[in-house]
Amino acid sequence: MLPGIDADGARGAAAAAPAIEEIVEAVLAELDATATGADEPDAIATDDVAGAAGADEGEAGSTGEAAAGAEAAAGAEATTDAEATRDAVPTVGEEEDGSTPGAPASSGSVRDRSPDRTKGRQKTRPATPPTDGAGPDEDARPNLVVGKTPGVLADDHVAEAGRKVLRFHLARMIAKEAGTRDGIDPEDLHGMRVATRRQRAAWRVFGEAFRPERTKKHRGRLREVAARLGAVRDLDVLIEAADAYRSDLPVAEQRALEPLLEAWRLHRDDARKLLMRELDSDGYRRWLDDYAEFVRHEGVGARPVVPTEPHRVRDTAASRIQAAYEHVRSYEPVLRWADVNTLHELRIHGKWLRYSLEFVREALGPEADGLIARVTALQDHLGLMKDADVAAHLARSFLVEHAGSISDGESGAIARYLVSREKEVARLHRTVGRSWRGVAGIAFRRALGRAIAGL
């Protein structure tokens, strides 16, 4: 019997987690379905760019992923045959609701590492050198001129503040596309994914200032691109963490872990093929051009407001930030006994608090940096816990699915990796109190009040 793994636990894992082979087969089936040489069906029909740029009214966004009704409408507009396949079969990548396609349904997601946690680590090359081709000419991509920050000011109209944030992160997304295609440095794909997630967050924060019927095409395709990037990035994170774990092990133990890592690498290569198919599609290129025009031109898509309606950053940011903070504070009574999934939900609420602060950082003044740092520390701590939990679930699932097809030495090595991840989850759970107090304590609340009072 493998150490730390009982038969009941193995049967439970088998029932809770989708087979990795099923996931890989589903991805390959999607590739086969689109291997005829035709482009993937366009997810969103594009409007005339000149008409959108010249319109007095504008495209409307909803509150983004925050409003279930608006999200459903955007999803209906953006769904393609490929997306329908993704909905039916889990793929790896964290959505805004915190779900992790590709991992067991209960295991959440493997999140992007923040720059602070990856700084100084050796960057890994893809398991298989990319053979996707050069892709579209770099000069053909939209050219957006942005500063070092979005530059949101307290007197900005909410729609124009949102446009500044969208333009800033779209420019970053475009800048990382070439490196993502090359596949040499995983941090390029990481940066491109972060930029898409910041844009999706901006639609949630500022979306009510736009007209929904004119912006759902932008939100829909952005979600599609983010899902493709996330499928690759999440597996990069899993593989990198496993490589770091085994780097100090004896050579024989390192080799015994290879079946697990090889399965993840194959899944990652399949996810990359789907990502390249998306980035090479005509629909993506048309959407990118249209979206760039939207973020360039002031007034396009803005919802009309009357003078007495709150419509400036100084009128609306305080209540938005306070509401986000209230969601975080609501976890205080259950924090001590919360399971990993509940703590992951807390991390998602912390993420929205962080974004609500980050997007209006300049308007809030110097207090904002310290507030954001404390929220980020909590978010990172909970994210590391979720990473370890997902890795443990996937390792257990692999052992159950491959029982009898791998050697005793390989089973033992993978089981020890599983146990190490479970111990890491327990350690991070025990030590969450310090980062929590940094956000829930009186010092944070007073600093938050001073920052909001300055609007």
Domain of 348: which CATH number? 1.40.20.10
Q: Which sign does the torsion angle of CA 348, 349, 350, 352 carry? A: positive
Q: Best-predicted range by mean pLDDT among 46-60, 85-99, 305-319?
A: 305-319
pLDDT over 90 (residue 122): no
Per-residue pLDDT at 16 exceeds 70: no
- Give yes or no for a contact between 92 and 110, defined as CB atoms under 8 angstroms apart: yes
Instruction: Specify if 122 maps to a domain.
Output: no
- The string of DSSP codes covering 392-444 is HHHHHHHHHHTTTTS-HHHHHHHHHHHHHHHHHHHHHHHTHHHHHHHHHSHHH
For residue 210, is it within any domain? Answer: yes
Most confident of 7-21, 83-97, 130-144, 191-205: 191-205
Residue 78 pLDDT > 60: no
Residue 438 lies in a domain: yes
Contact 44, 281 (CB under 8 A): no
Whether 2 has a pLDDT exceeding 80, the answer reads: no
pLDDT at residue number 140 = 74
Q: Which residues pair with 41 in a beta bridge?
A: none
**Tell me, what's the pLDDT at 445?**
96
If one compares 49 and 442, the residue with the highest pLDDT of the two is 442
How far is the C-alpha of 325 from the C-alpha of 322, rounded, in Å? 5
Helix (H, G, I), strand (E, B) or coil at 103: coil
Q: With 90 as the cut, is the pLDDT of residue 126 above it? A: no
E strand residue ranges, 279-404:
none
Can you tell me the distance from the alpha carbon of 105 to that of 97, in angstroms, rounded to the nearest whole number?
Answer: 13
Phi and psi based region of residue 403 (left: phi greater than 0; alpha: psi -120 to 50; beta: remaining): beta
Cβ-Cβ contacts under 8 Å for 171 (sequence gap 6 or more): 144, 145, 146
Contact between residue 345 and residue 306 where contact means Cβ atoms under 8 Å apart: no
Q: What is the rounded CA–CA span in Å between residue 452 and residue 446?
A: 10
Q: Which domain holds residue 226?
A: 7-117+149-453
Query: How far is it, in rounded angstroms, from Cα 205 to Cα 63?
Result: 6
Q: Return mean pLDDT, the chain.
A: 79
What predicted TM-score, i.e. pTM, was given to this entire model? Answer: 0.72
- The encoded tokens of residue 273 equal 């093929």
- Element (DSSP H or E) covering residue 137: none
* 3-class secondary-structure state, position 312: strand
Cα Rg for the chain, rounded, in angstroms?
Answer: 22
Length of the chain as a residue count: 455
Domain total in the chain: 1
Q: Is residue 2 part of a domain?
A: no
Cα–Cα distances in angstroms (integers) from residue 449 to residues 151, 274, 314, in the given order: 22, 46, 14
- The percent of the chain in helix, strand and coil, each rounded to the nearest 5, is 70, 0, 30
Cβ-based neighbour number of residue 323 at 10 Å: 12
Classify residue 385: in a domain, yes or no.
yes
Neighbours of 171 (CB within 10 A): 19
List beta partners, residue 312. Answer: 157
Q: What would the two tokens of residue 184 be?
A: 């040499």
Type of residue found at 59: E
Residue 155 inside a domain? The answer is yes
Name residue 154's amino acid: A
Pairwise CA distance, residues 108 & 285, whole Å: 32
CB atoms within 10 A of CB 42: 16
In a domain, 373, yes or no: yes
Identify whether 312 is part of a domain.
yes
CB 361 within 8 A of CB 397: no
Does the pLDDT of residue 378 top 60, yes or no?
yes
Q: What is the pLDDT of residues 275-295, one digit of tens each?
A: 999 999 999 999 999 999 999
Q: What are phi and psi of 157, to 5 degrees?
A: -60, 140
8 A C-beta contact, residue 417 and residue 395: yes
Residues 215 and 61: beta-carbon distance below 8 Å: yes
Using pLDDT thresholds of 50, 70 and 90, give the confidence band for residue 65.
very low
pLDDT at 48: 35
Tokens 């983010």 locate to 226
